[in-house]
Structure 1
Amino acid sequence: MKQKETVFVVPTYRLRDVAQTIEKYDENFWVNGHALKIIVFDDFSIANHKKYYPLLEQTKTVNDVFYVGPQKKEQFITFLNERLCDRFMESERLSHVSVCPCFNCHNIKFFASVRFF
């Protein structure tokens, strides 16, 4: 039986503390013989992202580290908005409803303040 890939996920809203944390976890994984992907899900503001992302970028690790930040989150929200509106318009084509209940696809914006991860 094929073993599933292990992924270590770090959800955060304080990016300034993550670089040190990632280094410690990575060292611990390496010392104990584990190879895995590390993914950081950042819910920080764009201004703070610009300030603290370079610290994370300079972090030296043995394992691969992937970052999902404010821009990717906004792309994901846009994708969801498009999919929801498309799905609604497709399903309502037969009933001749012309107004999308998602208020022109802006109703998901409030989720931006909710951490998905």
Structure 2
Amino acid sequence: MATTTASLTINFKDGSSRTISHPVCQHNDTVRYDQLQTSLSYIQKESNSILTTLINQETANKSNAVSRVDNLNTTATVVVSRSIDELETDSSTGNDEDDDDEEDDDNADTTEKPPEKKRKTK
């Protein structure tokens, strides 16, 4: 099964970072706009929460003169990536276990394959 994930990494000037991830969809389908919008909204809400918390901590702790949020970039990149699990679920049986090397007639591969190219012989 393919999993599409949106993630945002916030890098702080002290070298630490925080990554926020959210699954967009868990199917082999194309990503729909509404699915992506849901993930981006979640990431935006979480990143705002993280930054607000840090700013409040810095404000409360005046003795810490060097702020982690002073030099944050105002732009961020959200990465959307797709990973495919090595073991695909058998859609006919729902069985995700690896079958033996023997092929049963009932489980024969019925996928259509493109015709092979014919070679010219002299």
For Structure 1 versus Structure 2, the TM-score category normalised by the shorter chain is 0.3 to 0.5
**TM-score normalised per structure 1:** 0.33
The structure with higher relative contact order (CA 8 Å, sep 6+) is 2
Name the one with the larger helix percent.
1
TM-score, normalization by structure 2: 0.32
Larger Rg: 2
Higher strand share: 2
